[in-house]
């Protein structure tokens, strides 16, 4: 069994490194980012995962698992926990945007656990003007999301989780824009998660805990911000595939490594020339069709001749560069890697890296973080360093999290008698 754990970790690390080290393959692909409504739903809310390259899906259970992977709550060691996180957002651009996050869970029994969270995203003070530049109003746009979750153990090592959530996005305050009445966007969504956890794993002679986890997040309705428009946008439906190994080095020291892949389950925009679609697939589809289409709809790169003109086939269609569709599909997978060191379960050091392909947004950043835990109280802080230029609006992002353990585990109580 230990050979299987070592092989899985090696393969995921190898694939991740090869994704991150192939910029030459990106040069033939044009910029073709996938955008969604309510993007705040996919912003990392907590400092622990925020200090590990956003690789939070396979991390050990905490109050923040309700965002990352609800099924992990079945394996929580503490009976309950609540936490609050705060992130000043895009401070390279403004000084009044922030994300606040409140979350918690409670184990009902050995097999059952519930959790919930509330996220609030403040976009700060915004001044609206008309076409002539005259001030029409001042407003404080905001978005929020409330989530409830349930986790259930299928066996001692297998668990599933299910979330239900409601999201509200009010960006204009009902302002009339260009003669069009605007409104708040409202979405209902669900998350599905699955975890396999083996707390008796080994790599070589090192004992530890191996975790494999996968989630599909934000499966929900399309939204729009206008009562007069029929065009609706996807929310950030996301598939995550993750694994981690926590090595117990000795009585006082442990190191966890996590590798995670993330992909938006949203259709890729097709390519147009003179308002005619020439590559890819129509992305104005339903939710289920959009999820399925997201795996095979990349338009690829249009071939050009020596003069830089697009090459047409004999039937009038445009020629696509060989294998560029597959390369674009693969480039839609983001890679997250993280490392966490704990000393005596009191002090933690963290580091991580997040990679996104240049033609899909080019987010590349490193993270560092620290954690302190004393009795029932814990604090985590993380810092983001953008590696694709200091001008990145994400640069210097700080996250702060506080956690409080409530109650006393029955098993722990029995052991102390």
CATH number of residue 26's parent domain: 2.40.160.40
Pick the closest to residue 247 from 199, 311, 180 (CA basis): 199
167 assigned to some structural domain: yes
pLDDT-derived band at 295 (thresholds 50, 70, 90) equals: very high
> What percentage of the chain exceeds 70 in pLDDT?
89
Residue 416 has pLDDT above 60, yes or no: no
294 assigned to some structural domain: no
Cα dist from 306 to 64, 256, 311, 316, whole Å: 54, 51, 10, 19
161 assigned to some structural domain: yes
Domains in the chain, number: 1
312 assigned to some structural domain: no
Residue 16 has pLDDT above 70, yes or no: no
State the pLDDT at residue 246. Answer: 96
pLDDT-derived band at 196 (thresholds 50, 70, 90) equals: very high
240 assigned to some structural domain: yes
pLDDT in tens, 252-261: 999 999 999 9
Mean pLDDT of 412-416: 37
40 assigned to some structural domain: yes
pLDDT-derived band at 54 (thresholds 50, 70, 90) equals: very high
State the pLDDT at residue 21. Answer: 45
Residue 411 has pLDDT above 50, yes or no: no
Mean pLDDT of 198-220: 94
Mean pLDDT of 242-268: 95
State the pLDDT at residue 177. Answer: 66
pTM: 0.87
SS3 sequence, the chain? CHHHHHHHHHHHHHHHHHHHCCHHHHCCCCCCCCCCCCHHHHCCCCHHHHCCCCCCCCCCCCCCHHHHCHHHHHHCCCCEEEEEEEEECCCCCCCCCEEEEEEEEEECCCCEEEEEEEEEEECCCEEEECCCCCEEEEECCEEEEEEEEEEEEEECCEEEEEEEEEEEEECCCCCEECCEEECCEEEEEEEEEEEEEEEEEEECCEEEEEEEEEEEEEEECCECCECCCCCCECCCCEEEEEEEEEEECCCCEEEEEEEEEEEECCCCCCEEECCEEEECCCCCCCHHHHHHHCCCCCCCCECECCCCCECECCCCCECECCCHHHHHHHHCEEEEEEEEEEECCCEEEEEEEEECCHHHCCCEEEEEEEEEEECCEEEEEEEEEECCCCCCCCCCCEEEEEEEEECCCHHHHHHCC
Mean pLDDT of 33-55: 95
pLDDT-derived band at 182 (thresholds 50, 70, 90) equals: confident
pLDDT in tens, 93-131: 888 899 999 999 999 999 999 999 999 999 988 877 766
Range of the domain at 397: 2-268+332-415
pLDDT-derived band at 315 (thresholds 50, 70, 90) equals: confident
Residue 219 has pLDDT above 50, yes or no: yes
Mean pLDDT of 142-157: 97
285 assigned to some structural domain: no
131 assigned to some structural domain: yes
């Amino acid at each position: 069994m230990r050979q299987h754990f070592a092989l899985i970790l090696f393969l995921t690390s190898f694939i991740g490194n090869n994704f991150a080290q192939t910029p030459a393959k990106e040069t033939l692909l044009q910029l073709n980012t996938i955008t969604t409504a309510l993007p705040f739903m996919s912003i990392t809310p907590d400092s622990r995962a925020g200090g590990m390259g956003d690789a939070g899906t396979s991390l050990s259970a905490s109050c923040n698992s309700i965002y990352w992977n609800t099924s992990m709550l079945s394996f929580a060691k503490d009976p309950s926990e609540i936490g609050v996180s705060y992130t000043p957002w895009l401070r390279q651009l403004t000084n009044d945007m922030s994300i606040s996050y409140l979350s918690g869970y409670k184990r009902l029994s050995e097999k059952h656990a519930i959790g919930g969270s509330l996220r609030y995203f403040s976009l700060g003070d915004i001044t609206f003007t008309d076409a002539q530049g005259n001030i029409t109003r001042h407003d404080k746009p905001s978005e929020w999301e409330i989530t409830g979750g349930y986790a259930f153990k299928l066996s001692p090592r297998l668990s599933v989780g299910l979330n239900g959530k409601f999201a509200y996005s009010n960006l204009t305050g009902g302002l009339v824009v260009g003669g069009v009445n605007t409104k708040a966007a409202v979405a209902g969504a669900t998350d599905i998660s699955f975890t396999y956890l083996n707390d008796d794993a080994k790599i070589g002679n090192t004992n530890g805990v191996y975790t494999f986890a996968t989630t599909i997040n934000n499966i929900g309705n399309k939204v729009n911000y206008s009562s007069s428009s029929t065009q609706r946008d996807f929310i950030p439906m996301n598939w995550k595939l993750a694994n981690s190994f926590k090595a117990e080095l000795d009585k006082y020291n442990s190191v966890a490594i996590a590798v995670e892949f993330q992909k938006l389950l949203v259709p890729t925009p097709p390519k147009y020339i003179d308002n005619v679609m020439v590559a890819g697939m129509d992305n104005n589809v339903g939710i289920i069709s959009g999820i399925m289409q997201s795996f095979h709809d990349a338009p690829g790169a249009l071939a050009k001749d020596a003069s830089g003109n697009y090459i047409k086939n004999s039937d009038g269609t445009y020629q696509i560069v060989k294998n560029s569709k597959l390369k674009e599909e693969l480039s839609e997978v983001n890679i997250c890697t993280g490392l966490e060191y704990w000393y005596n379960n009191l002090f933690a050091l963290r580091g991580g890296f997040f990679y996104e392909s240049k033609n899909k947004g080019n987010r590349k950043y490193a993270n560092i973080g620290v954690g302190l835990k004393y009795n029932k109280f814990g604090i985590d802080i993380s810092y983001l360093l953008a590696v694709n230029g200091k001008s990145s609006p994400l640069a210097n992002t700080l996250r702060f999290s506080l956690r409080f353990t409530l109650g006393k585990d029955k098993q722990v109580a029995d052991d102390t008698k």
